[in-house]
Amino acid sequence: MTENEKKKIKILYTVTNSDLGGISKLILETVKYILDDVDSYFIMGTPGYFSDELEKLGIPKDHIYFVPMTNSIFDIKQHLNAIIGTLKIIKEVKPELIHCHATTASIVSAICTRITGIPALYSVNGWPFTDGITKWKQIFYKILDILICSSFKKINTESVYDKNQGIALMPWLKNRITAIPNGITDISEEYRKKDFSTDGDLKITMISRFCPQKDPYTLIKAVGELVQEGYNVKLDLYGYGAETEQVLEEIKKYNTENIKYCGLITEAITVLKDYDIYSLISNWEGFPVGIIEALAVGLPVIVSDICGNSELIDNNGYLIPRKDVKTLKEKIKFYYENRNELSKQGQQSRKLYEQEFEGSVMSKRFFNLYKEILKF
């Protein structure tokens, strides 16, 4: 072992799933800039996109572990098995710090940090008790987070909105709750938006999982009605998930070629420049990586007025009340009739990305937080 390797911080990252999504992308962005400073190990439920991308980064296979986890909070048997499996890996790896993401992984990590005494950082990718979730679930998750958050040395949120939510719920943990916004690596010039449509088609895209959290139905309805009213608006949907068939059925209602499901895409950056507007209509969110990707490309955005989304809008798009088809149609029509605004707001998106959401900046902030926790 070299002298440089001895100085690395040994961190064990835990996450529930290995699928293509914001959490996987966030951890990859965090790790890639600190490979020389951190000896990284990973626990996830199953092999998949995340584990494949880690190997591409140069993470050794023997640093990646698979511990089956469940998204069902009430599957006690599975949680116990995950805790036992994680404790065995902790004993083998001997990390200095555990960094957990997602609710299930945070429950497992909270118990493991209590048992082992190894400090842990919890990255909250959107509080599970946020607005948009049913009331009984909000109450349940508030109780759950109160129980587990006291186990962590630090709780990081992705937005000031979520930081304030956490402090309001757990004021006694005020000094432990931080806010580091998400970031992504800058994109090459070839993927940046250059020419917007000046007439004819107005092209919109939404790229997301299809699940109760997301709401592609409001966007489909808004575009479908605009097409029926004679507007040449086109919508391409990319995604995957439990509600894919439901989304396809919703598209069929409008009997138009202007609304299409384009399947799963692993690299949104490669297609975003083909569109005039990026839209992400959701019932709740943390701090969506998808919107940040659109900012980096230089697209105006139309997104739900929820959680931390307002921190991604600064004269570069519009916030829409949850499930508000009427307002969404008005904003789309505004762009349709004022094409010069597309380029103007797209430039503002790019500027906002450069100032606030570049990946290396986020990674450096996390590394500084690691050092703070460990008094490194």
User: Which pLDDT tens digit goes with each residue over 90-125?
Assistant: 999 999 999 999 888 999 999 999 999 999 999 998
Domain layout of the chain by residue ranges: 3-185+358-374, 189-356
d(CA 156, CA 177): 6
Select 189-356's CATH number: 3.40.710.10, 3.40.50.2000, 3.40.50.1970, 3.40.50.300.
3.40.50.2000
| Total length of the chain | 376
Amino acid at 306: I
Mean pLDDT of 11-22: 87
Convert the pLDDT of each residue in 185-230 to its tens digit: 999 999 999 999 888 899 999 999 999 989 999 999 999 999 999 9
Residue 144 pairs with which residues in a beta bridge? Answer: none
226-250 exposure pattern, b = at least 16 Cβ within 10 A, e = fewer? bbeeebebbbbbbbbbebbeebeeb
d(CA 339, CA 197): 7
Convert the pLDDT of each residue in 295-335 to its tens digit: 999 999 999 998 889 999 999 999 999 999 999 999 999 99
164: CB partners within 8 A, 6+ apart: none
Work out the angle at residue 167's Cα, subtended by the Cα atoms of residues 149 and 118, and round it to the nearest 5 degrees: 25
Q: What is the pTM (predicted TM-score) of this model?
A: 0.82
Select 3-185+358-374's CATH number: 3.20.20.70, 3.40.50.2000, 3.40.50.720, 3.30.360.10.
3.40.50.2000
d(CA 44, CA 233): 41
d(CA 79, CA 303): 35
Say how many C-beta atoms besides its own lie within 10 A of residue 118's C-beta: 18
Among candidate residues 299, 325, 320, the one with its CA nearest the CA of residue 310: 320
**Matching CATH topology for 3-185+358-374 and 189-356?**
yes
Residue 202 pairs with which residues in a beta bridge? Answer: 233
d(CA 57, CA 155): 26
